Amino acid sequence: MSQATITSRSSVQRTTDSPPPRKRRRTVAKRGRPLWMLIPGAVLLTVIVLIPLVMAIWMSLLDLSQYTIRQWLGAPFVALENYVVVVTQTQFFQSLAVSIGFAVIATVLSIPIGVAAAIVTHNAFRGRAVVRSLFLVPYVIPSFVVATIWRTIMQPGGVWTGLLSFFGIHSNLWLNGPNAFWTLVIVEIWASWPFIYLLTLAGLQTIEHQVFEAAALDGVTWGRQLRSIVFPNIGGPLALACVVSVLSHINNFTLPYVLFGIPAPNNVQTLPFLTYIQSFTIFRFGLGAATAVLSLVLLAIPLIVYLRMMRLDVGKEA
């Protein structure tokens, strides 16, 4: 038997005797994600959002008042009658106009403050951490505390009227009358501009520092850097901040309630305020539920538009 035959047989025997190759363990992506981990979040979402939403829709279809609240499951079914009453016999459209005007004005006036604060604190300097912390103070204070403080400041003959009289503006009625709307706007701007500042600062953090250094070496002015580098990169975060701010302002109930109390001037009765009055002042809970559902539908419109715009932008980039 030749040496080549012996060698080939021994190699075949080693190949036969060798253990089979071990199967590689599938990665998480191949095995499938552990969807059971979503169960706690789904339960929480169901309990906090879905069940109250279904109950609100059902209550809006009932003639639910202080007389039928004890047996509300057996309250008279009136279908869409509450919605008709809300649209035709209440101050719904006035409250809608107040809410939209107040939210848009507060957001538009907060944008330059927040953007300027983010640009100022973007570059490193001594004490930057302290300045950033101070900028967040209005945002972290609870709305109840903010409204209570400003209610005290704007009392007739208080600090606010004294400060304005120093500049030649003499007006004592800031918590009532036509100035009440602007009081709401001023306080909301003071409390909410740090949110614009935070998202704008997050957008600035995505810009590489070398870009500014290269622009400075090329002799690009600061105004040109703002137009060509800063603003294009903070457009997405700023748009998100605007949408969230508008929705947050419209939904703000604590601020006007604590700031003005009940009865409040008509020019500060936002949609949440109107819902509260209908439900817990005149005790027409079905009417209040219908107002809340209509408010939810209207609030979903700008959110859907924003999500649609974001989807189109992602599609263009792809």
pLDDT at 28 over 60: no
Quote the mean pLDDT of the chain: 82
Mean pLDDT calculated for residue range 37-63 = 90
The stretches of 121-230 forming alpha helices (DSSP H) are 128-135, 137-140, 143-153, 159-166, 180-205, 209-217, 222-225
Distance separating alpha carbons of residues 126 and 116, to the nearest angstrom: 18
- Residue 149: which pLDDT band, with cuts at 50, 70 and 90? very high
Q: What does the pLDDT read at residue 317?
A: 58
Residue 165 CA from chain centroid, whole number: 36
pLDDT at 152 over 70: yes
Element (H, E) at 272: helix 271-280
pLDDT at 213 over 80: no
pLDDT tens profile 51-81:
999 999 999 999 888 888 877 777 888 889 9
Backbone angles phi, psi at 77, to 5 degrees: -85, 120
pLDDT at 3 over 60: no
Q: What does the pLDDT read at residue 31?
A: 58
* Higher pLDDT, residue 16 or 147: 147
pLDDT tens profile 261-297:
888 888 899 999 999 999 888 889 999 999 999 998 8
Domain boundaries, the chain: 53-317
What is 53-317's CATH number? 1.10.3720.10
Q: What does the pLDDT read at residue 157?
A: 79
* Higher pLDDT, residue 165 or 249: 249
Longest pairwise C-alpha distance within the chain: 120
Give pTM, 2 decimals.
Answer: 0.79
pLDDT at 113 over 70: yes
pLDDT at 172 over 80: no
